[in-house]
């Protein structure tokens, strides 16, 4: 089957590919996007789940990246106040630590003043002998610095960008692999195969965007036959999740003797997320998993701070991802630049944009810069628009989460408080569309466990391209942490019985 020609064909359904697709569709470009797996199934769901300036990047003089990141925190929060929330971070300090107090103060001063902060509170100093944040930590830490950043549901941010791109006219194709891309009669000719049906299609486009993340070089080598492509440095980051280590709503920023840092973050109500590691990764990104060495490192690093050690047996879940950093020749993985690089080349006259690097916090600005280059290559359409927009479900004030929870509970009084909060945190104003005319718990359909009901699974199938229990339990939600093995299997069975109903 041959599709009609598009302005843009985007390879990759991570945060960068979906962000570019959304921005371009909103400006009037015709857009197609292919993702070989599920959205956010690679790097974009394997992050530390922060919208942050990158305090540690100041040590590597990445002032442009830090300033752009700081400025984006409140922009993204206002775009998606359901999946993004402000969070305070506690950085414990003791004499003889890795970094002197004056250096930390200087870094935090820059952090407070580089990025046009308006809603987020500023840095302050804590006496850990009296502040509740000191309770879970060893008595060695009598002083700390507290600053602001944000938390994000990373996988949901990706799928909401994809959803909005599709709503604005983009052709969005998950589980669709690009087999080849070649120049033909002044257009790109792109062959794809649907991973579920095996159906082959031929697409034509004026410009190709390679936003395949860790696979960006693999796409250049396989689909475009550029055998010498070597542009990205693959760096593995791993995380562990343990039962809740502390009651305080603030997160911790821990400095390790090897100059690396880790976070300990309140996670999904009942857990603590600890990570990340940084090490070069030589294998195929699809095979990445936490190593025994990384597990021990994270347990030991956190145990240097917490009164109660973090043990291997405390771990309830782990995840790993490969970050595709632009290869700037840094000697150590943690020193490689986190900034993004956009390169346009012409292949037999047809423009190709390759996207290297990037991070969650700067995806919107990366997309805007990509649209500038796209405009130069094939002509400009529309103006930048996303800074004042809302992602689906995020059309309420940045500080309006509690009010939105109240509205949902008022409309659906049978919902428990925790259930209502989870629904608003995932779907925002679209929680009402999910629940529809439900008037009692029985109207939510089959109960799979925890607070996951059939009505939510159906919504994810019909509106967010979910096709497996993995999609539902570990990317669209994190209910996999709460369901038993039998309950998770029941979700898988339910979805397998309904392939004909699944519509993007």
Where helices occur in 326-441 by DSSP H, the ranges are: 363-378, 401-411, 417-427, 431-435
Assigned token pair, 82:
């359901």
Cβ–Cβ under 8 Å, residues 52 and 194: no
Q: What residue has token string 């790109």?
A: 188
Spatial separation of the C-alpha atoms in residues 126 and 45, rounded to whole Å: 33
Distance in angstroms (rounded) separating the CA atoms of residues 391 and 427: 10
Query: And the tokens for 2?
Result: 């041959």
The pLDDT score that the predictor gives to residue 502 is 46
Low-confidence ranges of the chain (pLDDT < 50): 500-504
Nearest to 294 by CA among 347, 360, 242, 237: 237
DSSP 80: -
DSSP character string of 433-446: HHHTT--SGGGG--
**By three-state DSSP, how is residue 104 classified?**
helix
**What residue ranges do the domains of the chain occupy?**
6-43+155-231+338-388, 75-151+233-327, 401-501
Alpha-carbon span 79 to 398, nearest angstrom? 8
CA distance 9 to 192: 11
Alpha carbon distance 472, 489 (integer Å): 12
Tokens of 238: 């791993």
Buried b (16+ CB within 10 A) or exposed e, 143-175: bbbbbbbbbbbbbbbbbbbbbbbbebebbbbbb
358 close to 263: Cβ distance less than 8 angstroms: no
- Alpha-carbon gap, residue 465 to 462, rounded angstroms: 7
* CATH architecture for residues 6-43+155-231+338-388: 3-Layer(bba) Sandwich (3.50)
What letter does residue 37 receive in the DSSP assignment?
Answer: S
Q: Which two tokens stand for residue 257?
A: 């003797």
Longest CA pairwise span in the chain (Å): 72
Chain segment 441-498, per-residue pLDDT in tens: 999 999 999 999 999 999 999 999 999 999 999 999 999 999 999 999 999 999 998 7
Cis omega (within 30 of 0) on the bond before 143? no
pLDDT computed for residue 230 by the predictor: 66
Q: Which residues contact 300 (CB under 8 A, 6 or more apart)?
A: none
What pLDDT is attached to residue 504? 46
| Angle at alpha carbon of residue 318, lines to 314 and 322, rounded to 5° | 150
> Could you give the C-alpha distances from 72 to 251, 336, 446, in angstroms and in order?
20, 22, 40
Q: From CA 440, how far away is CA 319, in angstroms rounded?
A: 36
pLDDT tens track for 415-427: 999 999 999 999 9
The fold of 401-501 is Helicase, Ruva Protein; domain 3 (1.10.8)
Residue 432 is predicted with a pLDDT of: 98
Residue 10 and residue 223 in contact, taking contact as beta carbons nearer than 8 Å: no
| pLDDT for 117 | 85
- What pTM was computed for the model? 0.95
- DSSP lists the bridge partners of residue 176 as 194
CB within 8 Å of 457: residues ≥ 6 apart: 448, 466, 472, 491, 494, 495
Question: In the CATH scheme, what is the homologous superfamily, with its name and number, of domain 75-151+233-327?
Answer: D-Amino Acid Oxidase, subunit A, domain 2 (3.30.9.10)
């Amino acid at each position: 089957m041959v599709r009609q020609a598009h302005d843009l064909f985007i390879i990759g359904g991570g945060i960068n590919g979906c962000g570019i697709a959304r921005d371009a569709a909103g400006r009037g470009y015709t857009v197609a996007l292919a993702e070989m797996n599920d959205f956010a199934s690679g790097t974009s769901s394997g992050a530390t789940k922060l919208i942050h300036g990158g305090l540690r990047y100041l040590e590597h003089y990445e002032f442009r990246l830090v300033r752009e990141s700081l400025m984006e925190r409140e922009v993204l929060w206002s775009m998606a106040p359901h999946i993004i929330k402000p969070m305070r971070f506690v950085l414990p300090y003791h004499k003889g630590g890795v970094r002197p107090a004056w250096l930390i103060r200087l870094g935090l001063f820059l952090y407070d003043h580089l990025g046009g902060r308006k809603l987020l509170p500023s840095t302050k100093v804590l006496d850990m002998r009296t502040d509740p944040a000191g309770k879970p930590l060893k008595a060695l830490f009598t002083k700390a610095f507290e600053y602001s950043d944000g938390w994000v549901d990373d996988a949901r941010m990706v799928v909401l960008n994809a959803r909005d791109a599709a709503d604005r006219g983009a052709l969005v194709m998950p589980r669709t692999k690009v087999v080849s891309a070649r120049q033909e009669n002044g257009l790109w000719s792109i062959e794809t195969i649907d991973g579920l049906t095996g159906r082959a299609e031929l697409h034509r486009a004026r410009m190709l965007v390679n936003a395949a993340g860790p696979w960006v070089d693999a796409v250049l080598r396989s689909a475009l036959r550029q055998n010498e492509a070597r542009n990205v440095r693959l760096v593995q980051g791993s995380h562990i999740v343990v039962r809740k280590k502390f009651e305080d709503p603030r997160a911790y920023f821990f400095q390790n003797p090897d100059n690396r840092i880790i976070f300990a973050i309140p996670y999904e109500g009942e857990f603590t997320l600890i990570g990340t590691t940084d090490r070069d990764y030589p294998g195929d990104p699809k095979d990445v998993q936490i190593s025994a060495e990384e597990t021990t490192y994270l347990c030991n690093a956190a145990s240097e701070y917490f009164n109660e050690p973090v043990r291997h047996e405390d771990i309830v879940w782990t995840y790993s991802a490969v970050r595709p950093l632009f290869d700037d020749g840094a000697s150590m993985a943690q020193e490689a630049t986190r900034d993004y690089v956009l390169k346009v080349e012409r292949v037999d006259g047809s423009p190709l944009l390759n996207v290297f690097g990037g991070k969650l916090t700067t995806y919107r600005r990366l997309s805007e810069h990509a649209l500038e280059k796209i405009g130069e290559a094939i002509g400009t359409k529309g103006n930048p628009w996303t800074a004042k927009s809302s992602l689906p479900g995020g059309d309420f004030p940045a500080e309006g989460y509690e009010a939105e929870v109240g509205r949902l509970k008022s409309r659906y009084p049978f919902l428990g408080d925790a259930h209502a909060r989870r629904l608003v945190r995932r779907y925002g104003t679209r929680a009402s569309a999910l629940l529809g005319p439900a008037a009692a718990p029985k109207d939510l359909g089959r109960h799979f466990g925890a607070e996951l009901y059939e009505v939510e699974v159906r919504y994810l199938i019909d509106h967010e391209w979910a096709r497996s229990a993995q999609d539902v339990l570990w990317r669209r939600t994190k209910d996999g942490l709460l369901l038993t093995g039998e309950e998770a299997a029941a979700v898988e069975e339910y979805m397998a019985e309904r392939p004909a109903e699944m519509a993007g």
